[in-house]
Amino acid sequence: MNPVKAPLDTVDRIMLAHGGGGELTGQLIQQHLLSQLNNERLAPLTDGAVLPWRAGELVFTTDSYVVTPLEFPGGDIGRIAVAGTVNDLSVMGATPVALSLGLIIEEGLPVDVLDRIVASIAATAREANVEIVTGDTKVIERRSGDGLFVNTAGVGCLPPTVHVGLEHVEPCDVVLVNGCIADHGLTIMSVRHGIEFDSDLRSDAAPLNGLIEQLLTGGVRVKFIRDATRGGLAGVLADISEHRQLSIEIIEAQIPVSPTARHAAEMLGLDPLTVANEGKIVCVVAQDHATSALEAMRRHPLGRKAAVIGRVTDTQPPLVELNTRAGGRRIVQRPYGEELPRIC
Amino acid sequence: MCLAIPGRIIECRGDEALVDFHGNRLEISKIMTPDAAPGDWVLVHAGFSICTIDKHDALETWGYLQQASASETDEPVSDLAGRSVPKLGGTP
Amino acid sequence: MTPGFRELRDQLARLCNKISRQVQIMEVCGTHTTSAYRNGLHAMLPENLRLVSGPGCPVCVTPQRHIDAAIELAAENDVMIATYGDMMRVPGRLGSLEKLRARGARVHVVSSARSALQIARDEPAASVAFLGIGFETTAPATAATVLEAERDGIENFSVLMCHKLVVPAMLALLEAGDVPLDGFLCPGHVSVITGAEAYRPVVQRHAKPCVIAGFEPQQILLGLVHLLQCVQSGRARLENVYRAVVGDMGNRAALDLMQRVFVTADTPWRAIGVIPQSGLELAPGYHRFDAVRRFSLTLGEDEDHPACLCGQVIQGKAEPAECPLFDHGCTPLSPIGPCMVSSEGTCAAWYKYNRSAKALRDLPQSQEVSG
């Protein structure tokens, strides 16, 4: 039997022909994408989605997602693709309205993997209460790549009452995080070939728009929010310090890191401060709003372990500094690039 | 030059052992600590146990690894915010 | 019970006050360097106590010729390279393994020599070379892995031997005679294997105190307290504050593994030169696992940048800032010398934490945390 002419459901891997724009492409979209993602804006399969819009400002963002392996404890590429873009909109202060989904699939990707990832995309979108309203699928020749690349773009609506941005950050402001850091990056490490280990760690990938909305509508004067993804907590703090030319002091003992993550970081020779997260935000608030911000975060399930970790100062030159458990002090910088496990 | 951390042996199969590091489990070779048995604490470097350790010593030397962070200990919110903020640095 | 951080800091201050001159201690091991920086210990040390980083970081002392050999293996011989992550960015003459991987070579980061062997097992058609770096702590792991390869008949596995020994390097440093050192903070995990007595020649021949300490901040501070007590009393002693894991005679099983599989050899150290009997090579019975022999590689000479002071820096003879390349062409993003590569490299650590040392000193005192 010619495999290309076989019904799709007897084919267990994506083939180049699935991207050819013909019958198989239609089957792929209908049976494997629309079946899970369907909504009234996506269903007509027009070239673009028409969204009603009220007056005011729109926030527009895009991000591409590449992760090895595609599935890992606590998530998969689909979950981070939806949560990541939702979070990028949310940290801007916007309410996410709609996402686009672009899939670049490598020939040979098992269909059941694709199905699980699309199911995860659908579930995460429901969790974030946002719809995927337009999309695109391409199939590329088999390479030594990772099988699936995802791009999501998103639009959100910026309420006129929200003013978050680096320009609002001032000395004496307080810095918070919404929970334990480093879980995502360490989880990915734990399933990577050559360094793998079994772990109770799970990725923290999650859409944070609910948490952020709770914070923004709870009467807290929120000045700045950013999700601490690649580059970790250190990366975000270095960004704030550099852009505002202000210093930030953080306290090691206050930074939430689970003992399991701390052990994993020690095993790999990594600093939890520079390890990636997919469900953590750094939030800067006015000093007298620290307690209310913390309470607002802790009321949300994704902020139960939120903590005040430090504050902004006008010390010059601008540096991020860590007061260590040992009672010492050091400068924190963003990592070089790819974090590699070390033995030394 | 040599990162090594303590873990507890869960099970042994010949020269191999499964070691728990507070929720992370690694297959290691215990060829350098042939007498190590399940329940023993070992110091592990690059996938090999390099010595056995007394549990008390392990917990004393690496105790901080087990400690929960401040925010995980369910301190009252006001206390945490109040305690951490004013003590930072000398800037007004 | 180990004394708390504040108590240790106060003890150091009192001792330094009594000694009342500049004291220079070499922490031989790169992991001590990293831990001291990561835990911010330099901010806790008295002003007249200076820590000098020694030659105990494989990233810093692996000569260019070995990196070049790995690159040649991958580029010319289609060999898959398996390496600890530490070595990925170390520059040879031909570039680094990180850059080689970007050009399509198969370079795998592993966390154990056994993972490298597993790759060879899983891909019998490929040839896998493991970059054997590190000191006495890591070398027995390579030895055990070679024995496992032999036992299981895994012939597509080889090792590019770069293992080095700590004590010969310490002795060579002292015999050169131009480093003003008051004592050595000795590496805890090397000592687990070698035993505390391995440092006896340093103490006896050169009258330098040696204190073995672990890598937790309390251990480092406690080790320094013991060293300063030696300095103050003027007595060169061998002490061990890491008794929980370090015995006098070391780990017999690990030493036996090394003795079976390796022989000592004169070995080049990057930017220092050849130190007699300071390295390990595969013993004749295991030559077939030697990547250099298997692929008939010729190890060339190193061509370090003429202005680079890395050799001086890892012998405690120069501070990073004295190097004309430091922050002028040589930075952690584009390292020229090896000391700028890994976060524990002396220059990288300086760049990262000390460039603003003055700014750091001017900051208000850190809050007290007791251990």
- Here the CATH number for the domain that contains residue B64 is 2.30.30.140
Task: Give the confidence band of C143 by pLDDT, cuts at 50, 70, 90.
Answer: very high
- Calculate the CA C364 to chain-centre distance: 34
Q: What is the pLDDT of residues A61-75, one digit of tens each?
A: 999 999 999 999 999
Model confidence at B80, pLDDT cuts 50, 70, 90, reads: very low
Q: Looking at the domain assignment, is residue B84 inside a domain?
A: no
Q: Which residue has the tokens 């006050």?
A: C17
Give the burial class of A7: count Cβ atoms within 10 A of its Cβ; 0-12 exposed, 13-18 middle, 19 or more buried.
exposed
The rounded distance, in Å, linking the Cα atoms of B35 and C255 is 16
Of B2, B33, B34, the CB nearest to C135: B2
H or E stretch including A133? strand A131-140
The number of beta carbons lying within 10 Å of the beta carbon of residue A143 is 10
Coil/strand/helix, residue B44: strand
Scanning C297-356, the segments in alpha helix (DSSP H) are 310-313, 346-349
Look over chain B and give the mean of its residue pLDDT values, rounded to a whole number: 78
Write down the pTM of the prediction.
Answer: 0.92
- Fill in the amino acid letter for C286: Y
Give mean pLDDT, residues A50-56: 85
Q: Which residues of A are less than 8 Å from C119 in CB distance?
A: 194
CA distance C49 to chain A (A): 15
User: What's the whole-number mean pLDDT along residues A315-324?
Assistant: 92
Share of chain A above pLDDT 70, in %: 96
The residue that leads in pLDDT, B84 or A151, is: A151
List, in sequence order, every residue forming a beta bridge with A136; answer none if it has no partner.
A102
| Beta carbons within 10 angstroms of residue A140's beta carbon | 13
* pLDDT tens track for C86-117: 999 898 888 899 999 999 899 999 999 999 99
pLDDT band of B72, cuts 50, 70, 90: low
Residue to test with chain C: of A268, A332, A344, most C Cβ within 10 A: A344
Residue B32 located in a structural domain: yes
Instruction: Determine the average pLDDT of the residues in A142-164.
Output: 90
pLDDT > 70? residue C131 = yes
- CA C113, C114, C118, C121 torsion: positive or negative? positive
Superfamily of domain C60-164+251-294 in CATH is HypD, alpha/beta domain 2 (3.40.50.11740)
The predicted structure's pLDDT at residue A198: 97
Residue B11 has which token pair?
Answer: 């099970």
Average pLDDT, chain A: 93
Share in percent of chain A as helix, strand, coil (round to 5): 35, 25, 40
pLDDT given for residue A96 in this prediction: 97
Report CB contact under 8 Å: A193, C38.
no
A336 or C136, higher pLDDT: C136
Residue A189: closest CA among A206, A203, A207, A204: A203
Give domain limits for chain A. 8-158, 166-331
Q: Does C240 touch chain B (CB under 8 A)?
A: no
Quote the pLDDT of residue C206.
Answer: 94
Question: What CA–CA distance (Å, rounded) separates C245 from C241?
Answer: 10
Phi/psi at C189 (nearest 5 deg)? -85, -30
pLDDT at C69: 95
Q: How far is CA B55 from the centre of its chain?
A: 11
Mean pLDDT of A6-24: 79
CATH class of C5-54+166-240: alpha beta
Spatial contact of C311 and C338, defined as CB atoms under 8 Å apart: no
Average pLDDT for chain C: 90
Confidence of residue B71 (pLDDT cuts 50, 70, 90): low
Would B30 be classed as within a structural domain? yes
| pLDDT for residue C176 is more than 90 | no
Give span(s): CATH 3.40.50.11750, chain C: 5-54+166-240
Please state which CATH number belongs to domain A166-331: 3.90.650.10
CB contact under 8 A, C367 and A193: no
Higher-confidence residue of A279 and C350: namely A279
With an 8 Å Cβ cutoff, is B85 touching chain C? no
Percent of chain C with pLDDT over 90: 71
CA dihedral A308, A306, A81, A144 (to 10 degrees): 80
Planar angle of CA A231, A237, A239, nearest 5 degrees: 80
| Range of lowest pLDDT (A99-103, A229-233, C305-309, C334-338) | C334-338
Distance from A247 to chain B by nearest Cα, in Å? Answer: 11
Reported as a pLDDT band with limits 50, 70 and 90, residue C370 is very low
Task: Report the alpha-carbon distance of residue C209 to residue C15 in Å, rounded.
Answer: 15
Give the list of residues 6+ apart from residue A226 with CB closer than 8 angstroms, or none: A91, A236, A239, A240, A281, A282
Q: How confident is the model at residue A249 (pLDDT cuts 50, 70, 90)?
A: very high
Task: Check if the beta carbon of residue A106 is closer than 8 Å to that of residue A145.
Answer: yes
Q: What is the pLDDT of residue C249?
A: 95
Q: Which of A317, A325, A328 sits opposite C43 (nearest CB)?
A: A328
- Residues carrying CATH 3.40.50.11740, chain C: 60-164+251-294
ipTM summary value: 0.90
Q: Does B45 touch chain A (CB under 8 A)?
A: yes
Amino acid making up residue C244? A
From the candidates A247, A267, A314, which should be mutated to test the interface with B, based on the most B CB atoms within 10 A? A267
Mean pLDDT of C17-44: 92
- Give the number of domains in chain B: 1
Give the CATH H-level superfamily of domain A8-158: PurM-like, N-terminal domain (3.30.1330.10)
Hey, which residues 32-61 in chain B have their CB within 8 Å of chain C? 32-34, 43, 45-48, 50-51, 53-54, 57-58, 60-61
CA distance linking residue C309 with residue C317, whole number of Å: 9
Query: Which residues of chain B lie closer than 8 angstroms to A267, CB-CB?
Result: 3, 5, 21, 24, 26, 44
